Amino acid sequence: MAVNKAYTAYKTASVSNSKPEDLVMMLYTGLVRFIMQAQKAIEADEIEKAHENITRAQNIIAELEASLNMEYEISHNMMLLYDYLYRRLVDANVKKDRGILDEVLKFAVEFRDTWIQAIKNAKEEGQAPKVAEK
């Protein structure tokens, strides 16, 4: 029990001390991880575990969507994409459909990899990445 409390405290501290660009990276990484875990759970016919992981992925999409700064034009496009992915995750959860998760995973991996490249480019230029997040 003490280990779980220590781990929770560590995770809370790491999130609250992170830069905004690192938080976005954590969200994209978590999104990929939860989708992949849901896929494995579906393959193993672990319906409740699949549901939990898809719900976690949905929560991440909702957080990404809520954090958009709508002053940027790209945020409007991202809002549409996030909304689409959220709806697809709902469909995947209802149907326990691995194919739908494959589709969402492709987007999630692309977002994550693009974000990694944006951070790398920004660091090379000596600045934080320009984000459409609040």
User: What are the boundaries of each domain within the chain?
Assistant: 19-117
Distance between CA atoms of 51 and 38, rounded to whole angstroms? 7
The CATH number fitting domain 19-117, selected from 2.40.110.10, 3.40.50.300, 1.20.120.340, 3.30.70.370: 1.20.120.340
Query: What's the pLDDT score for residue 130?
Result: 58
**Which tens digit of pLDDT belongs to each residue from 14-61?**
555 678 889 999 999 999 999 999 999 999 999 999 999 999 999 999
Measured CA angle at 93 (ends 48, 43), to 5 deg: 60
Q: Which two tokens stand for residue 105?
A: 């995973």
**Which tens digit of pLDDT belongs to each residue from 55-114?**
999 999 999 999 999 999 999 999 999 999 999 999 999 999 999 999 999 999 999 999
The residues pairing with 133 across neighbouring beta strands, listed in sequence order, are: 68
